Structure 1
Amino acid sequence: MSFAEYSEEIREGDVAIVYLSHESLMAVTVRHGAQTQTRYGAIRHSDDLIGKRYGAKVTCSKGGWVYVLHPTPELWTMALPHRTQILYATDIATITLMLELKPGSVVCESGTGSGSLSHAILRTIAPTGHLYTVEFHQQRAQKAQEEFKEHRVDHLVTVGNRDVCKDGFGVTGVADAIFLDIPSPWDAVPHAKTALKCSGGRVGSFSPCVEQVQRTCEALSRHGFHELNTLEVVLRVHEVRTVSLPLPDFGPDVLSPEVPLPPAFHHAAATLKTTTPPREMPAHTGSSVFGYKEDDHLQTTEGLCGSS
């Protein structure tokens, strides 16, 4: 089992996702002799999990059942232990698109936090890319390193414990993309430029407040980044319902006697499906800022690669 590769069978040491309902998931490390308690009863790892196929339906000790799923970054985001506030799939998908991530990309990230975005990046850049992720908090950095090893993606990531605003990412001229999820991303912009490769590169940040967005955009512009975009991703779920609409009565002479009436005209009303958008949307999470660093040989006012 790896978060970057798929395997068919559940084996000891795997991290499996126990699916109880759409809003209730559990991440379980599979061990011989271990048990996991759920609302439907206990799951015995040796009997119920090891050797079974991912996606199997497992019956618990009280007679209820659950599905056991192969871990993915999306499922991990829903099941992970929160050490910080995290990014969810809607924003992560936009970030992956705007940073133009692909297999083989080299990415720098700060801060690591609970690792929600990190796992999505690792799945995208595997098998030949690399993630340099920096976390200011020592215990969070250590825990993230342990999770990457347990999830068997540690060969794709280097975890650093430092203040990126003061000490940078620890690399120079190698990154295809930078992402900043820190309180003051504008302070890290010079270090982001240093870490980016000479031939262009993209930078992004996520901030909950528009004042943070403004200062970040000013810093990006000041350090030679172009094509700045600020996006807020809002998920709007429409309600699907069945409605009955009355049909107009145009009288007996609406059509000539030779032309038969359509079936709908034989009824007083028509039944159809419609959708209604929500009337209220308390949906703000934050805004993402993206910018592009042009090739250094096209810049007339800059010096060596990574200069600020």
Structure 2
Amino acid sequence: MKLLKKTMFIMLITMIFASSSFCFGADGIFKSAKSEIDASNVSEGYVRVKYLNPTTKKLKVIIEKGMGKYTYDLNGTGSYDTYPLQMGDGKYKIRVFENISGSKYAVKQTVTVDVNLKNKNSPFLVSSQLVNFTRESAVAKKAEELTKDCTTDFDKLDVIYDYIITNIKYDSEKALTVKSGYLPKVDDILSSNKGICFDYASLMASMLRSQGIPAKLVTGYSSNLSAYHAWNEVYTDETGWIVLNEMYFDGNQWKLMDSTVASTAKQSNSQRLMEYTNKLIDGKYYTKQYEY
């Protein structure tokens, strides 16, 4: 009996350590047998995660704080993915999962970190999995070109927004064929001048963030569009956060922070669509679910 209890205890300890993490030094990097979580930049609003060895298995990362929960895919190439810590200051639990079979996943790593953001808008200023750009990206260079004569963040917002709704066309074919787990490649969207709502929102957030302007990629439901949808919320010192059901005035006309709908209206030059766009100011048409 004692031997059985001892064996069970050893098995329990082994299971705990199999899914726990070890922190090497004081650099905030946690490593398990299967994955690695780099929490060295949590004050900047993000965490990086990678699976140590390439795999064809499906991988997930779940980040939780209190009742908030975000679920992401993790690449199986052995390279880092970056995830925002967008739920404010506090204690976050980060877990890495590996698919066993069907819809069953096993926990491979669990880390708990305390987050104290240097800037409350930090998560919406950095590059992350869904808003993925670098300083050398074509989108960053284009944003720099567009805003070179701007004197305020609001001016920058206006020219970037106007560029997107004037030049990016909605890709109806892509909307019908896009698969679960799709991630926008913003430079490809910029070069092709077309995309779906997810692409519009990622492109706009990337261009604005590259200029130091906090921007959220928001997902949720639009009752009038009868679909899951993506749009933006943007922060400027002049306005505070501009959210979807609060139109803003650029000095000439009122605009709505939904570049997908606005681009269709502008490019079709349809008065009916313009009127429809204006009606969307009523917040009941949109239900926000997540923000990235």
TM-score by length of structure 2 reads 0.31
Structure showing greater Rg = 1
Q: Which has the higher helix share?
A: 2
TM-score by length of structure 1 reads 0.30
